[in-house]
Structure 1
Amino acid sequence: MTITINEKIINEFPEIKIRLAEPLSLYTNTKTGGPADIVAFPKTSKQAQALVLFAKENDLPLTVIGNASNLIVQDGGIRGLVMILTELNEIWCEGSKVHATAGASLIETTEVAYRYGLTGLEFAAGIPGSIGGAVFMNAGAYGGEIKDVLANVTVVTPRGELKTYTNEELNFGYRMSRLQAEDDIVLEAVFELATGDKQQIRQRMDELNFLRASKQPLEYPSCGSVFKRPVGHFTGKLIHDAGLQGFTIGGAQVSKKHAGFIVNIGGATATDYLAVIKHIQAVILKEFDVRLETEVRIIGEEK
């Protein structure tokens, strides 16, 4: 009797939570996204590495997702295996270094740094992503970026090999790292911080969280900042000046609070999101001769 790939992965990894034909809308910040053939939730780096090797040995397409905060999964879903790393979520300190595994919350990592009186991560206090995604995208806000504080990162390659990269080896750029070109998967990151005054650290984190809450549409599901900042311009201002705030297709709307965000005001699909993105890009190109590039990752198949 032939064993299906679904049966094979369930039999081989009884200790890992596995879901079949699972809607990814359950896991994305936009609350949109079609089904994945197989979804697995490793709890350790060893399990994650074993799943990568399983995918390679069985010619199974592999997609890795963290907190899915800066991600749009298309309505046709994703074929093959989707590995969601949110259960790989340990954070600990050793001296001035903060260690965090890929699925750990970036916000919680900043809180751990604060509790140990370590400064440098305050800029990330309200960024709703995972450690893996933050390193992968060189996340940043309010004048700080991951590249400013990262010491090194441990990854598993698409071939299942473990590697450690230093900050310099990651070739960081604006919302870029070498991981995007090589499809390496973050397992653990180490941040080198400095000893600071806890009261000042808390004050700065609270200040940035207040600014974020007052300016960003946190009351609605969204994929965060949609576009990269074009040289010489502010994306939100361009969209505002073009009169696009409030523009809506289906349930996806250009936020009335912050023009750089597209929010799900109810029942939005990924197709709605992509249609709004394309409309914004077309209008901004026509009105200002500026090409907007997406910062948000768009993956999966059209329905």
Structure 2
Amino acid sequence: MHNLLERYRQLRELISESSLKCDEMLKQHTYTRMGGKADLYVTPANYEELQLVLSFARTHQLPLTILGFGSNLIVKDGGIRGIVVNLNHFNAIIRESDTLIAQSGAAIIDVSRSALTHHLSGLEFACGIPGSVGGALYMNAGAYGGEIADVLVSALVFTPEGELLRLTKEQLELSYRHSNIGTNGYIVLEATFQLVPAEHDTIKAKMDELTEQRESKQPLEYPSCGSVFKRPPGYFAGKLIQDCALQGVQIGGAQVSTKHAGFIVNVQDATASEYIALIRHVQQTVNERFGVQLETEVRIIGEDE
């Protein structure tokens, strides 16, 4: 604890005090409403502050975690050691001709709405994805037949050493729910999307249709991490789970949604341990019944309590 307070004081001398918190409860920053404390929680005001934080982490050999919106994420009950960085202050969205340049902390939903405003098509699929631009790139987010790789041109990133790079989508190695951003330790600063001019009403009609589908099928009334599992080749995860009669099964406050079997919802102050235990139970049951190993789409990070 003494060492943590010392690091807090040292970091406070480098960045604005409003950008830094100690022992921040991460359940306040995740869509599941679960997660323990971050030792140091930083919301940089600008790229310069972020570079200072990266340099500080390297100098003091502190682990550094980028949180994003915490939508496709489970933070364990023991929290995260070192520095957790939230880039939500980086949320500008700029139009240049038929492209949109969005900072990593902007909501991908807001980028899709900006595209609508500018009569640009291509991001309709993202109108209901509850994550940041950075998070969407990290996992090549997709829905309803579209994905980030379809419209991404390039990304501006910091390397772990603080070097600024412009990377093409090919260099990010995007595939189904995957990129090399995490592997290489890149920190996304902004993304450039190539879109296509289209009629406002046509774009809006598609977004309205997808929003209706999402609201009618997904359990949005409870905290969750979204779709828990990747789609196994030749199957649908939700159908496999449903056929195992797992809907409604509950461990502690975590429940397999009765509305959509691919979702696990926090119905009553679930802990991350309960949520993860239910994920493992679903995986084991589906594997025993159908011989299919469900792979998680959600990231699980942090330490056990």
TM-score by shorter chain over 0.5: yes
Match of 2:170?
168
State yes or no: 1:159 paired with 2:161.
Answer: yes
CA distance, structure 1, for counterparts of residue 50 and residue 187 of structure 2:
9
User: For 1:111-168, what per-residue CA distance to the aligned partner results, in whole angstroms no more than 9, with x for missing partners?
Assistant: 0010000000000000000000000100000000000000100111111111110111
Deviation of 1:14 (Å): 2.0
Deviation of 1:61 (Å): 0.9
CA distance, structure 2, for counterparts of residue 14 and residue 204 of structure 1:
43
Map 1:231-246 onto structure 2 (within 5 A).
231-246=233-248
Deviation of 1:6 (Å): 1.0
Deviation of 1:183 (Å): 1.4
CA distance, structure 2, for counterparts of residue 88 and residue 265 of structure 1:
32
Secondary structure (helix, strand or coil) at the match of 2:193 reads: strand
Match of 1:33?
35
State yes or no: 1:105 paired with 2:107.
Answer: yes
Amino acid at match of 2:222: Y
Match of 1:254?
256
Match of 2:229?
227
Deviation of 1:49 (Å): 2.3
Deviation of 1:87 (Å): 1.8
How many residue pairs get aligned? The number is 302
- Measured on the aligned residues, the alpha-carbon RMSD in Å equals 1.1
Deviation of 1:39 (Å): 0.1
Amino acid at match of 2:60: N
CA distance, structure 2, for counterparts of residue 183 and residue 257 of structure 1:
36
User: For 1:251-276, what per-residue CA distance to the aligned partner results, in whole angstroms no more than 9, with x for missing partners?
Assistant: 10000000000001021110011000
Deviation of 1:44 (Å): 2.0
Deviation of 1:43 (Å): 2.6
State yes or no: 1:294 paired with 2:296.
Answer: yes
Deviation of 1:8 (Å): 0.3
TM-score, normalised via structure 1 length = 0.98
Contact 2:14 2:52 in 1 (8 A): no
Match of 2:271 among 269, 287, 292: 269
Amino acid at match of 2:296: T
CA distance, structure 2, for counterparts of residue 156 and residue 226 of structure 1:
29
Amino acid at match of 2:50: A
Contact 1:150 1:167 in 2 (8 A): yes
CA distance, structure 2, for counterparts of residue 173 and residue 261 of structure 1:
22
Amino acid at match of 1:87: H
Secondary structure (helix, strand or coil) at the match of 1:256 reads: coil
Amino acid at match of 2:168: T
CA distance, structure 2, for counterparts of residue 48 and residue 141 of structure 1:
31
Match of 2:76?
74
CA distance, structure 2, for counterparts of residue 61 and residue 141 of structure 1:
32
State yes or no: 1:185 paired with 2:187.
Answer: yes
Secondary structure (helix, strand or coil) at the match of 1:168 reads: coil
Where in structure 1 are there 5+ consecutive unaligned residues? none
State yes or no: 1:282 paired with 2:284.
Answer: yes
User: For 1:195-252, what per-residue CA distance to the aligned partner results, in whole angstroms no more than 9, with x for missing partners?
Assistant: 0110000000010000000000011100001001100000000000000000101110
Q: Identity over aligned residues, as a percent?
A: 51
State yes or no: 1:146 paired with 2:152.
Answer: no
Where in structure 2 are there 5+ consecutive unaligned residues? none
Match of 2:98?
96
Amino acid at match of 1:249: I
Match of 1:117?
119
Deviation of 1:290 (Å): 0.3
Match of 2:137 among 119, 135, 138: 135
Runs of 4+ displaced beyond 4 Å: none
Deviation of 1:85 (Å): 1.2
Deviation of 1:11 (Å): 1.5
Match of 2:44?
42
Secondary structure (helix, strand or coil) at the match of 2:304 reads: coil
TM-score, normalised via structure 2 length = 0.97
Contact 1:16 1:42 in 2 (8 A): no
Deviation of 1:180 (Å): 2.4
